[in-house]
Structure 1
């Protein structure tokens, strides 16, 4: 079985060295580029399974690189940046990024997110599947149902569930959930996330007794997984 090939585009050699070591230890082949303007030609030639792309790069910045990649490949891209402003986050996803990591982060979180993206890509390569999820989310009416039965959720619980359920399998850090699912002025600290997740799990367990939908990822955050109906 061929090991997945991961391209790391990072202009700081010391940081890259650490990240490459962790990725290799997790069973991935790696290649490292320092410049953004080297990425497209290399990807065309080597067809990696995943790209870890820094936002601030010499030659060509990460958003421009991602935009060029999306013109010819759907390879998963995890954007990496120290710029955490909302405009940068949204711009990254508009350019076609599959996930987003804000510095500083632990190498373990990087590996965990890389594994999720590779697992998704591996499932897709094995052939399309069309399971019907028992979970239905209506954004306009701000309600969720399980097998047609309404889940009695608070507005905050609904936002958390909606954010995670849109990308099943993706690991969300607490900071990302605070940014994506909490309104300005609400309790914006890690304990608020843990408390809301705990209450959301209780609500879900009242309707969903045969599986756990929200999983804790030690040292990283939370992910949503839903078995087919």
Structure 2
């Protein structure tokens, strides 16, 4: 059975951040479990996060006139069996860099396709799985009650689920600002363990075509 392909997307602009360390540990754990892992640090990519050319919002094939890093990210997404989004909660959601990645890479005709003039659509990334990993200064209850889990709902339902990607878990590392070194070390160990367990799950479920798909990922989402 081929090794599962895992794409870890670092949505923090800096690789030397806590999110950067978490992404690296997740990748290390997934590799230890036999996965083929690509770590995409968005802060090291160059692309316009707010392209004003409508032609760039629809996939037209590998010869399309897009920035090199957008083409590379599209290829990485298409190869991946499992996608991991690691980012900090900023202003209740996530950094503009990650939003720009979604806008420029999850393209119509690549990630989804509308059915005529009706409300239906095809989820073109069905069979893939995902994990959302978010750091935040506030406690979890504040994110849920005050922010209504805006970042999580936006990604799990309106982005990943809309395109057919089933979210297998949501992990929040909370109260970062007041956390101790010992706590952060535990978080890094947790990230590595999640990488191992998610990779092993992909091995058990097999290739994308055999994985159980879900329209929104509602039932599969869990906080760990």
Q: TM-score, normalised by structure 2?
A: 0.46
Larger Rg: 1
Q: Which has the higher contact order (CA 8 A, sep 6+)?
A: 2
